[in-house]
A and B are shown apart, each in its own frame.
Chain A
């Protein structure tokens, strides 16, 4: 099983994270300073997983990614997600519209 991302993706995320431009925009958005270290650790763990099939590195990387996802899902949603797209998305404009479910 390969890592969730190509290892170079972690490295490029780390470099981008650390850049002055990005740090500035993070402060502008969140008012806090940005921790980039996790991307670097993820990169090393990714390489260890790929090269040596290091199971500890693999677990550490998976934990880190799952944390990232969990951070994004912390808040109760405002709306209900659809199972299917809206029926009238493709409908030509000069026809009547059905009741959208």
Chain B
């Protein structure tokens, strides 16, 4: 007789369910680990953390981030009702992707912190934040687009930003494509050129580091202008 048989609460009857629980737990740990690495090493994320603190919204990993299983292929979201960023642990598998998602969602959080953004009823506000997040997070960098096999060159970044902003709006609101396109067009110039807190479009880590340096020295900068 097996002396070491442990109580399995009947989970042994449902091997798939047990495997799913374990898998979800494993993905949660992996997500938390990748989030910590993003916080420690991504220059985009580090600048955003500092800018959030500077705007009166210091970010706490435990309070403001949640790793969860999500439907479909969505990577993350910002829940303005509870001021929390959701990271889709079942859809983020690489560190570079995690870095981009964290940056993207922190841009929404930053907009929520510094402006009266009406996320639910004002589509112009929603479009604006999506344009900024797509443009400034690296979602539309040459390498990100090339990895999706979208090979474009001249001004392709802008085409990508428009497209991703449009898709983000259509995914979360019941609105018709033509109307959504019109809204994106209306706010595009302002929002594409609003680079806060970076001061530039950070094409890569070096841009982000220079932007961070400038942000850290902003008191001196404005005092001596």
Contact = CB atoms under 8 A, between A and B. Distances in A.
Interface of A: 1-6, 9, 12-13, 16, 21-22, 24-31, 62, 65-66, 69, 72, 74-82, 84-86, 88-93, 97, 101
Contacts of A89: 56-57, 83, 113
A52 to B, nearest CB: 18
A88 B199 CA distance: 28
B217 interface: yes
Nearest to B156: A28
Given A28-B155, A75-B189, 11 more contacts: A16-B210, A22-B207, A31-B155, A66-B225, A78-B124, A79-B117, A79-B128, A82-B113, A82-B115, A91-B83, A93-B82
B221 to A, nearest CB: 5
26 contacts: A1-B224, A3-B224, A4-B224, A5-B214, A5-B217, A12-B210, A16-B207, A24-B142, A25-B203, A27-B153, A28-B157, A28-B203, A30-B157, A31-B155, A66-B225, A75-B193, A75-B194, A78-B125, A79-B111, A79-B125, A79-B128, A82-B113, A85-B114, A86-B83, A93-B63, A101-B116
A93 B63 CA distance: 8
Interface of B: 55-57, 63, 81-84, 111-118, 124-125, 128, 141-142, 153-158, 187, 189-191, 193-195, 199, 201, 203-204, 206-207, 210, 213-214, 217, 220-222, 224-225
B84 A79 contact: no
A74 B189 CA distance: 10
A65 B224 CA distance: 10
Contacts of B128: 78-79
Contacts of B220: 2, 4-5
Contacts of B206: 16
Given A4-B224, A4-B225, A16-B210, A81 B114 contact: yes
